[in-house]
Amino acid sequence: MAYIDYYKILGVDKSATQEDIKKAYRKQARKWHPDLNPDNKEAEKKFKDLNEANEVLSNPENRTKYDKYGENWKHGDEYEKAQQQRRSYTGEDTDGGFSGSGFGGEEDFSDFFQNMFGGAGGGFGKSSRGRASGRFKGNDVNAELNLSLREAAATHQQTFDINGKKVRITIPAGVYDGQQIKLKGHGSPGFNGGPNGDLYITFNIAADTEFERSGDDLKARITIDLYTAVLGGDIKVNTLDGSVNLKVKPETQNGTTVRLKGKGFPVYKKEGQFGDLFVTFDVKLPKNLTEKQKELFEQLKNS
């Protein structure tokens, strides 16, 4: 198995934080996504490599194994189990080394993996050179799914490709930005008959031009004219499920906020429950007044 430098693929160094890795993956994934590069085989391969690199480095446990075992990181647990088994056969000194033949350090990693998975006479069984037949769970896969605010507000189904397979999921209304769900058994295939890994999907909710989400509540700003603010009146206000009539009280001040109960965002996995919509009024002053209108304002000023 050829060594692949996942850090190089993502464009980060080994000291990168998990947040650095997340940002690097998002940046590169946007650049090489197949939807943005149709019929581009190079982009398709790079996107596949990016997902593979992110799958490993975004998981702290997998990253630790990769840093230690390189391309054989998936079988690091088996190596360590074999070490423990070897200790029970040969004995171990108080310094943590072996008092006999067997594993002596990192230089033995490659021999172990070659014997176990790629060469003749491999592994550990009843004797120190018998072939092992361990079953391993497949690799977990991490994916990101971009949604608009309105898509996140409605229960719906989406289908996307993971490792060449189409995965169809139902997304419950009310998912939030950064939320992660697990689909058991939809990750990479297991080794030697082991179970498949799991699929972890992270939702990215795009900012909306009309509404700002705050938990289960929504915020919106509505512009009203001076006359409505002073005299009061009825206006139309958009919500996620259509427009509603809203009564503006006379002498409403600029920046006044009113609450529309139950017109906010659906509460995740609580059918029929919603947050509130908070509407803030921006009073727009009139322009290009006639002389008569100015005189009327002067009269109001002096009255």
- The b-or-e profile of 176-187 (16+ CB within 10 A means b, else e) is eeeeeeeeeebb
Query: 212-302 belongs to which CATH class?
Result: mainly beta
Distances (CA, A) of 23 to 30, 38, 92, 180, 211: 11, 24, 44, 16, 25
Q: E-assigned strands of the chain?
A: 141-147, 156-162, 165-171, 180-183, 199-205, 212-214, 217-225, 233-239, 242-248, 257-260, 277-284
The domain defined by 141-205 carries CATH number 2.40.50.100: no
How far apart (Å, rounded) are the C-alpha atoms in residues 143 and 160?
10
Exposure string (b/e) for 120-148, b if CB count within 10 Å is 16 or more? Answer: eebbbeeeeeeebebebbbbbbbbbbebe
Same-fold call for 141-205 versus 212-302: yes
| Closest of 254, 182, 240, 190 to residue 211, by C-alpha | 240
Task: Please say whether the beta carbons of 95 and 28 come within 8 A.
Answer: no
Q: How many CA atoms lie within 13 A of 25 on its CB side?
A: 25
State the Cα–Cα distance between residues 12 and 158, nearest whole angstrom: 32
* Alpha carbons 190 and 217: distance in angstroms, whole number: 43
CATH code reported for the domain at 6-118: 1.10.287.110
Within the chain, what is the greatest distance between any pair of CA atoms? 106
Other CB atoms within a 10 A radius of the CB of residue 283 amount to 17
Query: Helix or strand or coil: residue 185?
Result: coil
Tens digit of each residue's pLDDT (9 = 90 or more) over 269-286:
998 999 999 999 999 998
Distance of CA 218 to the CA centre of its chain: 22
> Which is it for strands 199-205 and 141-147: parallel, antiparallel or unpaired?
parallel
Which whole-number Å values give the CA distances from 279 to 95, 234, 261, 265, in the listed order? 68, 14, 11, 14
Model pLDDT for residues 143-183, shown as the tens digit of each residue:
889 999 999 999 999 887 776 778 888 999 999 999 999 99
Adjacency order of strands within the sheet including 212-214: 212-214, 217-225, 277-284, 257-260
* Ordered mean pLDDT values, 10 residues apiece, the chain (303 residues): 77 91 88 81 86 88 84 70 55 38 43 47 37 68 91 91 81 92 87 86 92 95 95 95 95 96 94 95 92 87 82
Residues 6 or more apart whose Cβ sits within 8 Å of residue 89? 102, 128
User: Is this model's pTM higher than 0.95 or not?
Assistant: no
In this predicted structure, what is the pLDDT of residue 80? Answer: 67
Q: End-to-end CA distance of the chain: give it in Å, rounded.
A: 89
CA atoms within 13 A on the CB side of 20: 9
pLDDT at 103: 37
Domain ranges of the chain: 6-118, 141-205, 212-302
